[in-house]
Structure formats: C-alpha cells, structure tokens
Amino acid sequence: MALRGVRGATSVPANDESAIIESTRLMISAAMETNGIRAGEIAAILFTVTSDLDRAFPARAARELGLGSVPLLDFVSPQVPGDLPRLVRMLLLWNTDLEQDHIQHVYLGEARSLRPDLAGPGQ
C-alpha cells in the first residue's frame, strides 16, 4: 500500500462561513466518491485558502463529514498576482493500492481553470 495525494480545489461564492464550509464539503465529498475513498484510508488532509476567505476553517467541513479522527490542517495561500479569488485548495493524503496515475483529482467551479488537464468532465 502506498500513500497517494489527491488534489482538489474549489471556488467559494462569498466570504461567509456557510459558503466556505459548503464548498469545501462538496470538494471533499467529490474526491472521496470519485476515487472510492473510505474515511479510514485517509492519512491527513491539508487545506489552503486565499487570503480573502477568513470566515471559516475548511477543516470544519471535513469534521462535519465525519472525518474528525483524520489529521486536518489549514493554511493561507501566498498572495500571487493573477490568482483566482476565493479558493480553497486541498491535498488529501490517501493510503491506497492505486497507482498515482489512476487518481482522479477534483476541481470544482472556477477552480476548473487552474488545471483543466485534471478537471474531469462534469466537475
């Protein structure tokens, strides 16, 4: 079994608590469902937010999804000119037998433009 990274990113419609939590919840759920990830297989999840999102911690969404025993950590992304506003990014570390090139990453909303090569159809 190997430790693999599942990337995700999502745009958040507004800097408010419920929007941050709901957008993050959808991103986590999509990554888990798309890849068949079970909670007990997750080693940790790291989140970053753009500096314009300061009303909630994305890790709260993971806890609300029942991932309270998973190590979770939030960071603020560096401010880079031209970056999209109101983004939550995720690196989910997953214990799996899948090869890295079989992992499906999740890019939702405006975040699809960050990695169109990884944002699958219908995301």
* Alpha-carbon span 66 to 75, nearest angstrom: 21
Look up residue 80 and give its amino acid: V
- Measured between its terminal Cα atoms, the distance across the chain in Å is 28
pTM over 0.85: yes
**From start to end of the chain, where are the E strands?**
2-11, 42-49, 72-76, 87-96, 106-108
* Alpha-carbon span 98 to 1, nearest angstrom: 8
pLDDT at residue 119 is higher than 70: no
Confidence category of residue 118, pLDDT binned at 50, 70, 90:
confident
Burial class for 81, CB neighbours closer than 10 Å (0-12, 13-18, 19+): exposed
Mind listing the pLDDT tens digit for each residue in 75-96?
A: 999 999 999 999 999 999 999 9
Domains (range + CATH), the chain? 2-114 (3.30.1330.40)
